[in-house]
Amino acid sequence: MAMESVPQRGSLEETPLPRLLLQLYGARFGGALHLARERLEKSFRFQEGLPITAESNRGGETLSQQLVEAGVITPEAQSEVAGYVEREHCKEGTALLALALIDAKGLVQAMKDQVRRQLVACFGWPCGEFRIGDREQAAAEAQPFRADLYALLQEGIETHWSTDRILADLEPRMGRFPRRNGCFERIESRLASDPGVQSYLDALDGSQPLWKALQAATTPRAMAAAWVLDAADALDYGSAPAAQAAGNAAPEIEIRVESAAASAKTAGAASAAAGHDAARGRTPEAETLEREIADKFEHLRKLTHYELLDLDPTAAAAAVKNAYLAAAKTYHPDALARSGVDPQTREQANKVFAAIGTAYTVLSHPRKRKDYDAALRNDEPELDAERLANAETLYRKGEILMRSGKFKDAVGFLRPAVELWPEEAAYQAGLGWALFKKRPPEVPAARNHLEKAVELDAGNAQTWYHLSLVLREVGEANDAAKALERAKRIDPNVV
């Protein structure tokens, strides 16, 4: 992409920030990107299309303040940094190194974190303006500071974008069949994973339409990954399933014949080599870690959030954060890759770490923790919150498809939403209407779900109106008239 095709200024409503960042990366932009919203202004410098530094006119977003919040330096040390900057007229990074408050490696990581945090915060702006500054080439030594773009995009979208917004972007390709292309592996390797992400990636084989593949994207992180892979052109979209598009081409099969003795010899050599490699990588520490992970994985569904983090229910907020960081040192995929544990254990650990992440998300949020504690006291099912979240995600996907007139596709989302949470009137009503509107319709099932919806919520005019249409379709004119009258009493403008 040439830089000439990137707008030099504009609105973040018209050109959303993640798309703008992808455009700058495609043009290998070097220079400054200025973002502004009301009185807040931020500037980011780029090298080869990747952000390397960040500046803000908000005092609380300085590098030293970030290090104070992370516990790397004290507030007293921050005052020393401010004094040094004022005396020497230098940047905070220079002052931190000169005062020996951080080493060079720590400074690089802190600056990368600063860029990431400030850009991610901008994903949540409801409006704003951008301006591209003069192009310039950053010095070669700036390369270590470059942020990981795809990971940053995923984090920003996961944190600040709603499912509706993501689905609105993906809607034009809902009926097409996505499959991985040559760019996929490079981009996928940069994304954070969880069970929802992995399930979605597994579905991208060209055998099913995008709307069906998205059923596997059951977490906000997975939905963000879906957006990034689509926007970064890591997927090719076919008009038919991959197997069908391939036609009747005969597969190429290579047949090799070898003697039983040769086969046994080869198998024996492979087994010996595997045993040697396993023995070489095994340590007592790895065996202990494998047992610990296996035990946690076996009891995963029974453990409370507190037990997952090895915390007492009275633990303070700081203890929750410290417990999560300690768990990450054990269960994070990067840590496991260096530990020597076997592949099966790493797979189990990924699921444990995803559960630990959920536990931290709940316990680090005061209101969510309060609700969770109440659920524990009342002995309510632990998975209710997760079940409701999954159902809501499915419903939102189905709602987007219904607004586009794709009722048959919408049923694929709405039916599992109802199965997860049948007590929600909106889910029942949505499924009932989609079943009635799709072709061919399923009128009896549509009626059942709409009648269930008005039982759960008798005050929704739209549901009563839809039920009246279904009743009229099956020839029950009197009941249809009563339902329509009920709808108009609630909202005279419902028709």
Amino acid found at 350: N
Select from 117, 147, 177 the last residue of a domain.
147
- Same domain for 13 and 136? yes
- Same domain for 9 and 105? yes
Q: How far apart are CA 9 and CA 464, in angstroms?
A: 48
Q: Is residue 27 included in any domain, yes or no?
A: yes
CA 137 to each of CA 21, 32, 47, 48: distance values in angstroms, whole numbers, following the listed order: 17, 10, 7, 8
Q: How far apart are CA 392 and CA 223, in angstroms?
A: 13
- Number of domains observed in the structure of the chain: 3
Q: Which two tokens stand for residue 5?
A: 């095709």
Q: What value does the mean pLDDT take over residues 361-389?
A: 69
Q: Which residues contact 350 (CB under 8 A, 6 or more apart)?
A: 193, 194, 195, 198, 333
- Same domain for 136 and 209? no
Please tell me whether residue 407 adopts helix, strand or coil conformation.
helix
Domain around 36: 3-147
pLDDT at 188: 92
Q: How far apart are CA 40 and CA 468, in angstroms?
A: 52
pLDDT tens-place string over residues 388-416 = 667 877 888 888 889 888 899 899 899 99
Q: Is residue 389 included in any domain, yes or no?
A: no
Select from 147, 176, 199 the last residue of a domain.
147
pLDDT tens-place string over residues 228-267 = 999 999 999 998 887 654 443 333 333 333 333 333 333 3
Select from 194, 210, 240 the last residue of a domain.
240
- Same domain for 28 and 103? yes
Question: The tokens 């279904």 sit on which residue?
Answer: 470
- Same domain for 179 and 124? no
Q: How far apart are CA 467 and CA 38, in angstroms?
A: 47
pLDDT at 236: 95
Q: Is residue 472 included in any domain, yes or no?
A: yes
Q: What value does the mean pLDDT take over residues 280-307?
A: 80
Q: How far apart are CA 163 and CA 307, in angstroms?
A: 30
pLDDT at 148: 85
Q: Is residue 390 included in any domain, yes or no?
A: no
Q: In degrees to the nearest 10, what's the CA dihedral of 274, 276, 279, 282?
A: -60
Q: Predicted confidence band at 54 (pLDDT cuts at 50, 70, 90)?
A: confident
Q: What is the CATH number of the domain that holds 450?
A: 1.25.40.10
- Same domain for 208 and 227? yes
pLDDT at 146: 75
Q: Which residues contact 161 (CB under 8 A, 6 or more apart)?
A: 123, 224, 227
Q: How many CB atoms lie within 10 A of CB 454?
A: 21
Q: Is residue 87 included in any domain, yes or no?
A: yes
Q: Is residue 437 included in any domain, yes or no?
A: yes
pLDDT at 485 over 90: yes
- Same domain for 111 and 234? no
pLDDT tens-place string over residues 167-178 = 889 988 988 999
Q: Are 431 and 414 contacting, i.e. CB atoms less than 8 angstroms apart?
A: yes
- Same domain for 116 and 175? no
- Same domain for 75 and 39? yes
Q: Is residue 331 included in any domain, yes or no?
A: no
pLDDT at 333: 64
Mean pLDDT, the chain, integer: 82
Q: Which two tokens stand for residue 406?
A: 């794709």
Q: What value does the mean pLDDT take over residues 293-317?
A: 86
Q: DSSP per residue over 331-377, as a string?
A: HSHHHHHTTT--HHHHHHHHHHHHHHHHHHHHHTSHHHHHHHHHHHH
- Same domain for 77 and 168? no
- Same domain for 12 and 123? yes
- Same domain for 110 and 205? no
Question: The tokens 């907020």 sit on which residue?
Answer: 317
pLDDT tens-place string over residues 413-462 = 999 989 888 888 999 999 999 999 999 999 999 999 999 999 999 999 99
Q: Is residue 367 included in any domain, yes or no?
A: no
